[in-house]
Amino acid sequence: MLSYCFRLIPMLLAGVLMFTACQSVQNLTERGDYDGAIDFCVRKLQGKKKKKTEYVKGLETAFQKAQSRDLANVDQLIAASRPENWERIHDIHQNIRNRQNRITPLLPLRAKDGYLAHFEMIDIATLENESRSKAAAFLYNEAKNFILLGERGDRKAARKGYYKLIDLEQKYYRSYQDKDLLKVKAKALGTAQILFKVENNSGQILPVGFVDRILNIGKNQLDSDWRSFDFDEKADQPYDFKVVFKVRNIDVSPERVHERSYTDEKEIKDGWDYVLDKKGNVVKDSLGNDLKTPRYVRIRADVLEVYQSKSTRLAGIIEIYDAQRNTLLDNRDIATEVLFENYASTFKGDNRALSEDSRCRIGNTPLPFPHNEDMLNQAAERLKPNLKNELAWNPALD
């Protein structure tokens, strides 16, 4: 009886595995995941000499259902007579081709019990060529319509036309009629031409090189897919936008020198004293050693500090104009400050009393104050990152 049970276990396990496999294929098919069921069956059948009937029949059923569903969807999309449907139709045709290519290496497909599966292949190449041609024609015509709007001043429409041509190129045909010429045209129509200028409205004379520093903010870094910048106005170039940085206020403080005296004090250990008893004798501990106590002294250092300071504040506004209509689209305040500071200190007394701050400044010498022009040019350098950010990301320039 026991030996019979041992012989029965493998048979039961095989039955369970077969039932599980059938359930997997059946579940995928019943959920409408026909291609999932096909992939499952193909994996189970590839490289097997004795092919299990449940996988052969499961593959046959899932394939038939997938083909029927896709061809019905294609018929429905064609019946709608909408040109935009050809992209979707072409996608379905590609799915059919990929599905048939997965099945073909297994044909003829015969199960180990002799069952021969039947797969009705269709001439997908012809259908796919037709849908590719019509999908490409749709994108091409869409692109031309958008480019026509771009010629009337709609930059965003021209960009849409450009991306339609990119889709045509990547999905359907690398070469197609005058696609390349249209791409160049769409690119030009969709790119905003932007002129950047600096104006001095501060009532003060700007230092030599100040404007050049502002303008030298990197055209290569600013130019993007749809923005092109000029820093020197070209007479033959129509501009879409004009960005003006107006210097409104330059405030240079006087050169200030402030002196102050202060004292650093500290109590430190400075030797030791013997502990004496009332008779003046040295007290000893239990081991016979002399008892001692630390001696503390208070030390000081008199510090003379010289503090130099000078500041320059540069403030202005960025104004963005529609160059064709000369209307203000956006404006942003922008400012920066450059601060010169220097500490120089000397001291008299015990250097051990000096604080950490004092130590850092001891030995420094007074420095010559920077020129106004140098501080203004430094302020110009500090403004450049903010200006770059506005020119690169301000939505008004779209």
Q: Which residues contact 398 (CB under 8 A, 6 or more apart)?
A: 155, 156, 192, 226
The pLDDT of residue 5:
46
DSSP state of 231: S
| Neighbour-count burial of 36, counting CB atoms closer than 10 A to its CB (0-12 exposed, 13-18 middle, 19+ buried) | middle
- Domain range summary for the chain, segments of one domain joined by +: 21-109+117-122, 133-190, 251-270+298-397
b/e per residue 186-220 (b: at least 16 CB within 10 A): bbebbbbbbbbbbebebeeebbeebbebbbebeee
Cα separation, 253 vs 310, in Å, equals 6
Cα separation, 212 vs 315, in Å, equals 17
**Is the link from the previous residue into 108 a cis peptide, with omega within 30 of 0?**
yes
10-residue averages of pLDDT along the chain (398 residues): 47 44 78 93 93 95 96 97 97 97 95 95 96 97 98 96 97 96 97 95 91 88 92 92 96 95 90 81 81 87 94 96 95 95 93 91 91 93 91 91
Residue 317 CA, chain-centre distance (Å), reads 28
CB-CB contact of 353 with 300 (8 Å): yes
The pLDDT of residue 55:
95
Instruction: Tell me the C-alpha to C-alpha distance, in Å, between residue 276 and each of 125, 271, 280, 292.
Output: 115, 16, 5, 9
The pLDDT of residue 23:
61
Kindly report the backbone phi and psi dihedral angles of residue 198, in degrees, each rounded to the nearest multiple of 5, phi listed first: -120, 130
The pLDDT of residue 159:
97
b/e per residue 140-165 (b: at least 16 CB within 10 A): bebbbebbebbeeebbebbbbbbebb
